[in-house]
Chain A
Amino acid sequence: DAGVIQSPRHEVTEMGQEVTLRCKPISGHNSLFWYRQTMMRGLELLIYFNNNVPIDDSGMPEDRFSAKMPNASFSTLKIQPSEPRDSAVYFCASSSGLPQETQYFGPGTRLLVL
């Protein structure tokens, strides 16, 4: 299996622009997680989906952030408009959905907002 796939791997954009991050989970996994990692705040869970349905979005910073999962093999995290404080590494992870199962992480998208 190719593992969790994220694109782009790096993104540099200017403040105010829209940013879309993409994730393809491991085939057969039905839970998907979006995390953000910064030096100041560490690893934060933004949102997670079970069977394409958002279950907990309490970690989404504000209305500028939105996430969708239109089908079992694709999810997006969108930031509109982007701000310099959004600069971070964004990880997607997936699991089979059972609590004892392991979450497997993608390589991350490094976002820099100028």
Chain B
Amino acid sequence: AQSVAQPEDQVNVAEGNPLTVKCTYSVSGNPYLFWYVQYPNRGLQFLLKYITGDNLVKGSYGFEAEFNKSQTSFHLKKPSALVSDSALYFCAVRDMLGGNKLVFGAGTILRVKS
């Protein structure tokens, strides 16, 4: 069975500092991994995904994520946080053998303070 864990309900960071939002996963096959962001009263917006190849994936708005197979992690990072990055972030995984179903983590609230 597929599962995703986002161990932090909330992450607080000062503007200009680097940020990390953590995600670990469990799948029976090779994973496809995704990050989404949700701003208040909006739908989920796609940020980036890992399918295969380079372990470091670059996405929208300056975000990147590193796939680590040995640690089964896919942490989201940004070198310099902006106040406008404050939002709810979801990690999701799809098992290559599991069809089209995406399994989402519980979400992590990111608060960036000026």
Interface of A toward B, CB cutoff 8 Å: 4, 31, 33, 42-43, 45, 48, 50, 55-56, 91, 93, 95, 97, 99-100, 102-108, 110
| Assembly CA distance A48 to B99 (angstroms) | 11
B47's closest neighbor in chain A, by CB? A102
| Assembly CA distance A33 to B46 (angstroms) | 15
CB contacts between A and B, total, < 8 Å: 51
Q: Is the CB of A99 within 8 A of B99?
A: yes
* Closest 4 A/B residue pairs (Cβ): A105-B43, A105-B44, A100-B51, A107-B43
Interface of B toward A, CB cutoff 8 Å: 32, 34, 36, 41-46, 49, 51, 90, 94, 96, 98-102, 104, 106-107
| Assembly CA distance A93 to B38 (angstroms) | 14
A102-B106 contact given A31-B100, A55-B99, A107-B43, CB 8 Å threshold: no
Q: Is the CB of A45 within 8 A of B46?
A: no
B51's closest neighbor in chain A, by CB? A100
Q: Is the CB of B44 within 8 A of A50?
A: no
| Assembly CA distance A100 to B106 (angstroms) | 21
| Assembly CA distance A29 to B58 (angstroms) | 25
| Assembly CA distance A102 to B32 (angstroms) | 10
| Assembly CA distance A105 to B107 (angstroms) | 16
Report B-chain residues with C-beta under 8 Å of the C-beta of A33: 100, 102
* Interface of B (DSSP majority class): loop
Q: Is the CB of A95 within 8 A of B34?
A: no
Sample (27) of A-B pairs whose CB atoms are under 8 Å apart: A33-B100, A42-B106, A43-B44, A43-B104, A43-B107, A45-B101, A48-B100, A48-B101, A55-B100, A56-B101, A95-B100, A99-B94, A99-B99, A100-B51, A102-B34, A102-B46, A103-B34, A103-B46, A104-B46, A105-B36, A105-B43, A105-B45, A106-B43, A107-B42, A107-B43, A108-B43, A110-B41
A44's closest neighbor in chain B, by CB? B104
